Copies of this chain bind each other. A is one copy, B any other.
Amino acid sequence: MGGQAHSSMWMELLDFPLPGRLSKPRTQGLTMVIDKGLGLHETKDLLHTAGAYIDFIKLGFGTSGLYPQDLLEEKINMVKACGIDIYPGGTFLEIAVLQGKLKDYLAYAKDLGYTAVEISDGTIKIPPEVRERAICMALEHDLKVLTEVGNKDPRDRVEVGRYIEQILSDLEQGAFKVILEGRESGKGAGFYDPEGRFLADDVEQVLAAVGDPQPLIWEAPLKQQQLELILRFGPNVNLGNIAPAELLSLEALRVGLRGDTLRPICRESV
């Protein structure tokens, strides 16, 4: 079941129109899935069909706290067995911080079998020194650290320079990647306007400061967003908040097996 690269015989006959896609395990070209409550059959289906294309599965929001215990444990184990990292949503960790339970939270996440955590402040305010300590503690628990920058609610937006400082500081502290907020909807949060278009100025400033898109994971639930990022950065851009049902469609988009990325190759190059 899943895990290693698929050796489809189709693709011995045809070439991927967009070449260069990396296979797992990889540190670039990551795909992170948002899972809002898949059951065990659905999880098996996802792993079997698309496990070779998934690097991270996030159990969205605080849904981790709502599963029956046995189901949650079985699910985590199934995902890990396919060479996929799994972690609880960032909001759940924010609640632990809010309730003064961060240490217990990290220990229990590790016990349960989670391999990573997300450290964010999308909803609550977390002072920089607490964020740094959280990263450090998670690393001590041998958890992979993804941090996230960007507001969930438009009322909480701050200027982009603040986000840039966070990104650089998080990476320096040992974050594996920094996620750019996009929410499940891809609209009106983080680096998107209410219609889901990139806030171009903010994006360019972030890129100029970071230098290279590879430390970033773009939450990009909408096809148009995925398309723009692939056309700009290539098939190995890191993408997050991908819906489970969109996994093969996204992979097709990455390698040019879909009209939107095939077209620029065969029409616009003329």
Contact = CB atoms under 8 A, between A and B. Distances in A.
Contact of A14 (B10, B49, B72, B96): B96
A257 B46 contact: no
Nearest to A90: B259
Nearest to A49: B39
B50 A37 contact: yes
Contacts of A72: 8
Contact of A15 (B99, B152, B245): B99
Nearest to A94: B262
Interface in A103-122: 104-105, 108, 122
Contact of A45 (B39, B91, B94, B104): B39
A227 to B, nearest CB: 11
Q: Is the interface of A mostly helix, strand, loop or mixed?
A: helix
Contact of A48 (B40, B153, B258): B40
Given A41-B44, A99-B15, A66 B6 contact: yes
A61 B254 CA distance: 12
A259 B156 CA distance: 12
Interface in A28-71: 36-42, 44-46, 48-50, 52-53, 60-69, 71
Interface size class of A (residues with CB under 8 A): 35 or more
B91 A262 contact: yes
Contacts of A266: 98, 123-124
A152 B259 contact: yes
Interface in A208-248: 245-248
Complex copy number for this chain:
3
A92 B15 CA distance: 11
A9 B39 contact: no
A267 interface: yes
Interface in A151-187: 152-153, 156
Instruction: Determine which residue in A13, A39, A255 has the highest number of CB atoms from chain B within 10 A of its CB, and name it.
Output: A39
Interface of A: 2, 6-11, 13-15, 17, 36-42, 44-46, 48-50, 52-53, 60-69, 71-72, 91-92, 94-96, 98-99, 101, 104-105, 108, 122-125, 152-153, 156, 245-249, 251-252, 255-260, 262-263, 266-267
Given A8-B65, A8-B67, 14 more contacts: A14-B92, A14-B95, A15-B99, A37-B247, A40-B45, A41-B41, A42-B45, A50-B66, A62-B255, A67-B248, A91-B257, A123-B266, A124-B267, A153-B260
